[in-house]
Structure 1
Amino acid sequence: MNGVAVIGSGIAGTLAALHLHDLRPDLDITVFSKGALGDGASSLAQGGIALPRLDIDGDLEQHVHDTIAAGRGLNDEAVVREIISEAPRLVATLEHYGIRFDREDDGYHYSREGGHHIARVIHATDATGATIMQQLHAQLRGCANITVAEHSAITQIRPSSDVHGPVHDGRWTLDAGRWTTIILAMGGSGQRYRYTSNPPGATGDALLIAEHLGLPVRDLEW
């Protein structure tokens, strides 16, 4: 075994690798990117990040209510509540890694978007996703214990110890026996639908890999 494999180089995979680096700088970490760094959906996010206004009493509950209303009640309320509650901490994590969100004299510059009743959305310039990912990827490349394997599409994970390496055309079968931990952070599956604004790499690979390994999956309709 030779460390941790993070499959995916979007915001989830990149933050996972950076957090592991902070916790265990002795670990060997490899980040597998299906395309070049920055090719995924994270860099394309034009909007900002919505977080509850801690300066307004009761806004956490109002934010939860707005989100469930926008989802026409199909949301999992426990998941909605967890994501919204964690938003301020996660924004602080992004700032720790050098992201600078737009500010006014008294704090963040908030915008009102979508189904929000008040202004809750913060931005990093006019291209929030690209700005965030450029900075995170710069941090990633600066970590001596993190190797980035671009154009390495993982299509299968096998538990055997005799398969590892490129199969064909940049597609890899990963040998689970060579890693202490494998993290799947491979993005969504928008390209499996006829109409989508998702980038070409959003083909739901993580779900297929998980199913082949017998891991539980849920909410596949989304």
Structure 2
Amino acid sequence: MTQSSPNSQQFIEEQEPQTVLESLSKHSPEIESLIECLRKSDIYYLFMRDRQLFNWLDFQRESRANGYVVAVSCADLRKACQFYRLRYVRKRGTLHTIPMPVVYAQVQQPGTPTDLFLAILSELSNPFTGVCQLKLLRNRTWMTLSYYNVSVLIIGNAHYLTYQSFNELVEITRHLKISVIPVGSLYLHEILTRQSKKYTDVANTFLDWHEFSSFQK
């Protein structure tokens, strides 16, 4: 995944976003145009929902607690997580500086453990991302997360993850003592609240959750 340098991004904090949007209809062309502009722009407007998400993530990171985040718009949630990462991560040339407290890795389908580990290693610019044996990928991922002194691991598109991949996340947080935060669509909430013995360990690991709200009128 291509990373953006903090120097190339502009953060704008909007103290009262409601005053801008309240006068517009929820489905009006004006608000749809504004939302689309925000999604495509490199300028990041920090609305109330972003501050709430960032505060929640800060608390999870500082307390080394796990949890998950769901949203109607995965695109909005992805952008928010990317900018949250930029608050804490710096690069020197093509290399990340250490420590690297926040990692955001986006998983692709079908969401197997191999897909999970490759996404994490790719985000960390690890040169061994071509390794295919699961045991080697697992060991390399654990070692790399420890090397960069990661405090919180955020996994995007977590609704794609298989049962085996969720178990890998459980093992990561148990062995490395870091906060693990799967984020994804509303379906993720259904997965992690299933009344099933099979998912008991996974559900008990990710009890706390946060909903990243949609833009409101």
Report the TM-score range of the alignment, normalised by the length of the smaller protein: under 0.3
- When normalised by structure 2's length, the TM-score is 0.27
Larger radius of gyration between Structure 1 and Structure 2: 1
- When normalised by structure 1's length, the TM-score is 0.27
